[in-house]
Amino acid sequence: MINADPKRGIFHLTCEEFSYILQIKDGRLLQLYFGAPIADADLSYLLPCFASGSSFNQPVHHLPLELPTLGSGWYGEPALGAIGSDGNNVTELRYQDYKILPHKEDLPGLPSLSQPPTAMRGQNETKDDGTLQILLKDELTGLAAVLSYSIVSGTLARSMELINTSDAPIKLTHMASATLTLPLLPPAGSGDSDYSLIHLQGNWARERRVVRTPLGRAETKIESQRGASGHEENPFLALAAPGADENSGDIYALSLIYSGSFQASAQVRDFDNVYLSIGLNPLTHNWLLESGEHFVCPEAVLVYANRGLNQMSHLFHRIYRDHLCRSKWAGMERPVLINNWEATYFDINEEKVMALAKTAAKIGVELLVMDDGWFGNRFDDHRSLGDWYENPIKLPHGLAGLAKKVNQAGLKFGLWVEPEMISPDSDLYRAHPDWCLHAPGRTRTEGRNQLILDLSREDVQDFIIHTMKHILNSANIAYIKWDMNRNMTESFSALQTPERQMETQHRYMLGLYRVLDEVTSAFPDVLFESCSGGGGRFDAGMLYYMPQTWTSDDTDAVERLKIQYGTSLVYPASAMGAHVSASPNHQVGRKTDISMRADVAIGGNFGFELDLDKLSREDLAAARDYVAKVKKLRHLTSQGTFSRLLSPFDAPNYRAANYVAWQFADQQDLLLCIYRVLSEPNPFIHRVRLTDLDPNALYQADETDPSLPACFKGRTFTGAALMQVGVPMIFKGQQDFCSQLILFHRVKEK
């Protein structure tokens, strides 16, 4: 619900999950509250808390400004910075007006959340009421900001449009999408500095590890300058109150719907108040706004949860699955696939694809994906990106012929592409050497022997759109894996004027989004999966166009526990690609049983990435059984509520870190997934407590599962017992890397 009281200058957005209260004071827009829902919107009695006591602090420095600006006495990271044509960097925004739009509108050219039409709202969905827009303006410079707020299924979507209403150009230097400057109310006996900061850090093949550190007085910056959200940090941060854990305590989180360079910052400021921000990275993004022009910042999503990190994740999962992904696949079960990459790498041809397809069909796999190496002279990673035509030696019957054969074998056909890249050794580069990002007089830095096409250029965008449409029309292609295997250097465009070069990275993203929009809309039945050397662009921006992402190039089951666990903080399991690969694993050399590998992959969109013909007869039979199991369970793993139970990170003691557990639940069923990393001597049988069950309902473990431990057989359990007493973690055998899945069904009382 959006309540506006312009006479008292109060705006109150509220729903079952939160209240967000803004109030105007002396023309300035203040953020007075974000937290559990409250009825009283007038919080003006708090204003004395923000009085300045010293001549060294300008009044605005103390204020919880909704949009802190550069140059006018706010001595922290600004959310908005602008330089006028006279070189003046002062921006002072004052409230002008507001309006409430009946619907949430899409952001032009950018991915964003949508509110479902009333008729399509699910039973449990809160009513989301349009959008509150508040207009602020600097009368002197003519820079105006329209701030938009929409409640989307228990979360707050926030975006900002900047408009130059003056006759002279304005240079935008800081453009954050959301900030939290609010005074928190820490539990008694603690201060804001006792909050902790949670973010997702990593690198290639070890993405999104959960990092939780005390919130310092020194500013923490979480960022990417790479022209991609990156493997290293994710455009997300959360603040956890002292003692908050998976199931209890206050969490404030920000996530950005954007796939390029970003910056998030967190700090306890000098009067013990927290400051959080998220948006475009000022190191990589400036924008010249000519008279009359508009600039739209990416959308940020704010989440408040008072039942811990799992509740935060439930909110993110719901909006990113149900209100972000546009693909018709968002709510559909995904096909079990086999990808040839780790089976053959570049050494792929029709014969090998068909051998994989035939065995895959026998065990029930539904989709075959031909990965890198099928085009141009692509025998290794030194050439041919940009030459998107079949290699006639590898594919004598072309893509169309191969797709037909794969279809005849009973599988759908999918294809790998990397359309944003260009190899210096390619026909495309020889024809268009200026189509890549490059700076005059400087080395064109290569990464994986390739350069990046300059997607800020319309002719390059058109080329990619045309090429992709041509490929997709040329054969019966049901799936596309859209890869991107390096980050930006020399973010400079041959077509841009000097004063606009700092716009190249954002113009690239706008170009990419245009390309993705056109290609995915033209082929609505195709399932698209994004990828960037695994999870180097696992963000909400990409999920808008492509409902799933290849989570990591690390397919080792034990490493995947951490990667999938960390990813789940923000992104739903239905967004994660997860494959069973060979043992020993190609990234870490670890040997694991097929049961461990499959039990981990069941936690995402399940597939294989190995040569099935090299499996033993027993393992192939096990693979076939898993495919059947996945088909039975995937409604639950893709659409059920995912909760984390035991963490592989920073556990209080060795034992706890050694065990990992999560669950998927809907009204009827609960799938418990438990993992033990290392075997223990004389082991103690630990218990794990389930969550999200009806305490009074009765549940029974699925006894058709031959691996079910005997103690569960012939029994029913109340939800209360499963949640309070817990489930014993019993593993088969005494060995490292064990797993066990248990499916509980809700049963009727006898």
Residues that bind ligand DGJ (CB under 6 A): 341, 371-372, 416, 483, 485, 531, 533-534, 550, 553
Q: How far is the CB of 487 from ligand DGJ (least distance, A)?
A: 13
- Please, which residues have CB within 8 angstroms of residue 594's CB and are 6 or more apart in sequence? 580, 583, 615, 619, 622, 623, 626
Question: Least Å distance between CB 357 and ligand DGJ?
Answer: 18
DSSP per residue, 479-490: EEEE------SS
In the complex with ligand DGJ, the residue whose CB is nearer, 514 or 586, is 586
Alpha-carbon distances of 709 from 6, 472, 704, rounded to whole Å: 63, 48, 12
Q: Which residues contact 747 (CB under 8 A, 6 or more apart)?
A: 698, 699, 700, 716
Q: Is residue 553 flagged as an active site residue?
A: yes
Minimum distance from residue 609 beta carbon to ligand DGJ (Å): 8
Q: What is the largest CA-CA distance in the chain?
A: 81
Nearer to ligand DGJ, 534 or 566 (CB): 534
The residue (of 129 and 609) whose beta carbon lies closer to ligand DGJ is 609
Minimum CB separation of residue 537 from ligand DGJ in Å reads: 11
Compute the Cα dihedral for 585, 591, 594, 597 and give only its sign: negative
91 pairs with which residues across the strands? none
* Minimum gap (Å) between residue 415 Cβ and ligand DGJ: 11
CB of 471 to ligand DGJ, least distance (A): 16
Which residue's Cβ lies closest to ligand DGJ?
372
| Host H or E run for residue 204 | none
- Spatial neighbors of 180 by CB under 8 A, at least 6 apart, are 31, 34, 239, 252, 254, 274, 275, 276, 277, 302
The C-alpha atoms of residue 483 and residue 416 are separated, in whole angstroms, by 7
Coil vs helix vs strand at 436: strand
Residue 535 DSSP one-character state:
B
Residue 353: which H helix or E strand, with range? helix 350-362
Reply yes or no on whether 483 is catalytic.
yes
Q: Least distance (Å) from ligand DGJ to the CB of residue 203? A: 14
Nearer to ligand DGJ, 286 or 485 (CB): 485
How many C-alpha atoms does 315 have within 13 Å on its Cβ side? 28
Catalytic pick from 129, 192, 454, 483? 483
Q: Which CB, 115 or 467, lies closer to ligand DGJ?
A: 467
Q: Where are the beta strands (DSSP E) in 257-376?
A: 262-268, 274-280, 287-289, 294-296, 300-305, 337-339, 367-370
- Catalytic site residue from 192, 372, 553, 556: 553
Nearer to ligand DGJ, 468 or 674 (CB): 468
Separation of alpha carbons 605 and 651, rounded Å? 27
What whole-number distance in Å separates Cα of residue 198 and Cα of residue 210? 7
User: Do 335 and 306 form a contact (C-beta atoms < 8 A)?
Assistant: no
Q: Which is nearer to ligand DGJ, 532 or 739 (CB)?
A: 532
Tokens matching residue 743 = 């499916």
Nearer to ligand DGJ, 536 or 541 (CB): 536
**Closest distance between ligand DGJ and the C-beta of residue 578, in Å?**
12
Mapped onto helix, strand or coil, the DSSP state of residue 522 is: helix
Residues recognised as catalytic: 483, 553
